[in-house]
Amino acid sequence: MIFVVFDMNRSQAKAILFFSFLIPSSTSFAQYASDAFRYSEINQTGTARFQAVGGNHAALGGDASTISGNPAGLGFFTRSEVSISPGLSNFNTDTKYIDRVTAAGKSSGNVANASLVITSQPGFQRKWKRTSLGISFSRQQSFQNKFNYTGLNNSSNFLDRAIEDANAAGYTDEDYAQELDDNQGTYRYLDHAYYQLQTIYPTNFVSTTEGYGSPYARDDARNATLQEGFFSSKGAQTQWTIAYAGNYNDKLFVGGSLGFSRIRYNYTHMLHDSIINASYFHSTTNYQDFSASGNGVNATFGLIYKFSPTIQVGASLTSPTFTAMRETFNQSVAANYIRGSITDDNGVDVGPRDRRISLVPNDFEYSIVSPFRGSAGATYFFNSSGFITGTLEFVGYSGMRLRTNFLTDQENDDFRTNNNAEVKDVYRNVVNARLGGEYRFGILRGRLGIAYFADPYYERIDGIKRDRMLYSAGLGARFNRIFVELAGTYSMYKATYTPYTLENPDKQFYTANISTKPLNLVLTLGYNF
């Protein structure tokens, strides 16, 4: 892992350091750079119809998905419409850690899209034939995930991370006692909590006025550790969008929209270390809980031009989303002590009184500027039998920006400079591609789609290729005023997760390799009026 730790006090630096351990992203770089990417990546959105044809928004109209896609597509509406699209997401993961593979799964329901389109009466004697107003709620991306990992570690466990922190801080036992007294019995540091649990201890027993101190060690350091990790996340980025579009002479369709996004993300992670043939502690456990929320705004402008009844092209530009984020990180540690294993000279048990200690929550606020996006595409109609459509989508990931006003002036500058440099070093601009089609037979429609997402990283990290394919299919039925659509999207991608890192070359740490197979189902029910 590579970390960016800024010139700030020890508590703030450690908060940022430990946050970066816990982000199961497709890279192990600085946390806030990976956060900016997580909250900026969009896969498949909209109604079941548009998801089934690969998420193509650029050159198709007449569907509520265009409200948050290419708003010019609203100009194709000839009737007003209301629709809702409930969804079901299912995730299955296989995780290899050291010597074992562990499976996990998770399912959740959601609302993929809900929309209302109000269309004006036609103006037969005017060039501007009609206009439409659209309002939609759309699920832009999902943060649902779950994976477990298990492995027998013959070299290290999480206590070695706390030992390195204790050695770096250089605290003595007197320093730890004073720190606890100064902070009214609260714990701010991971090494402090583990020291209080007696799972790490000073090896320098030369008595001085400063007390005993580093280097620190742990018991049973040569014993193997069975490590078990459990990670679960939830949340989504959703968006309310207001769009307006017009139809000029049934040739040119122009539209614009304003989007108000909302981010909610939470994960919990537990790492349980069981010591084989333990002498003093059966096990130690590290618990983490992270929550983040944010609100943002963006704008989109789009055009679609109809060259003939069979060919039309379209393009849209979406501004960066300007998002204000707030997050909280909670952490606690626990130890399962073997009673009577630590005694004084009189044989009295002097082991830890506490079994679990919670650290002071770490709060932080910052802002993200997401990438600029641009799409262009074309659609070919086979008369009334169906169509084929394709889109190229530019995403400027290297243009993501982060800043904060939460720290001191110098620390704010360091945060902005270091994280924005990290974004430029790690992420590159990409062009994604989508292709889809629809075939009509009577009132029924059959649809297929495929989407390719290019690797957004400059360098391959952990040996993983991170470009992805999404495959989609769907069926629909359209009656006079009612329509029903069903779509499914399947993909597979790989990621890595490193529970902790160590500087000591004699202590090896490991990375979990995660294979995720998400399946998303969407059902759209609509009514024209």
- Would you state the structure tokens that stand for residue 76, as one six-digit string? 């194709």
- What's the average model confidence in pLDDT over 476-480? 94
Q: Specify the domain boundaries for CATH 2.40.160.60 within the chain.
A: 10-154+224-528
Residue 245: closest CA among 132, 79, 405, 98: 132
203: how many CB neighbours lie within 10 A of its CB?
11
pLDDT higher than threshold 50 for residue 299: yes
pLDDT tens digits for 397-425? 999 999 999 999 999 999 999 999 999 99
pLDDT for 200 beyond 60: yes
Please provide the DSSP assignment of 501-520 as one string: ----TTS----EEEEEEEEE
pLDDT tens, residue by residue, 158-183: 999 999 999 988 888 888 888 777 77
Sign, Cα dihedral of 417, 420, 423, 428: negative
Average pLDDT, the chain: 89
Distance between CA atoms of residues 341 and 347, nearest Å: 10
Residue 475: pLDDT band with limits 50, 70, 90:
very high
Span 433-449, mean pLDDT?
96
The model's confidence at residue 123, banded by pLDDT at 50, 70 and 90, is low
**Amino acid 261: pLDDT:** 97
Rounded percentage of the chain residues whose pLDDT exceeds 70? 92
- Mean pLDDT calculated for residue range 278-282: 94
pLDDT at 384: 86
pLDDT(17) > 50: no
**pLDDT of amino acid 23:** 36
Contacts with 252 (C-beta within 8 Å, 6 or more apart), sequence order: 303, 304, 305, 306
Average of per-residue pLDDT across 303-314: 96
Q: By C-alpha distance, which of 167, 122, 47, 204 is closest to 520?
A: 47
192 pLDDT above the threshold of 70: yes
Using CA atoms, how far apart are residues 44 and 51, in angstroms rounded to an integer? 6
- Could you tell me which of 412, 394, 392 has the C-alpha nearest to residue 403? 412
Mean pLDDT of 483-506: 93
For 10-154+224-528, CATH gives: 2.40.160.60
Q: What is the pLDDT of residues 66-97, one digit of tens each?
A: 999 999 999 999 999 999 999 999 989 999 99
pLDDT tens digits, one per residue of 230-253: 999 999 999 999 999 999 999 999
Across 143-147, 204-208, 211-215, the highest mean pLDDT is recorded for 143-147
Q: At what angle do helices 10-21 and 31-38 cross, to 10 degrees?
A: 50
| pLDDT for residue 380 is more than 90 | yes
Higher pLDDT, 375 or 11: 375
**pTM summary value:** 0.86
Per-residue model confidence (pLDDT) at position 259? 97
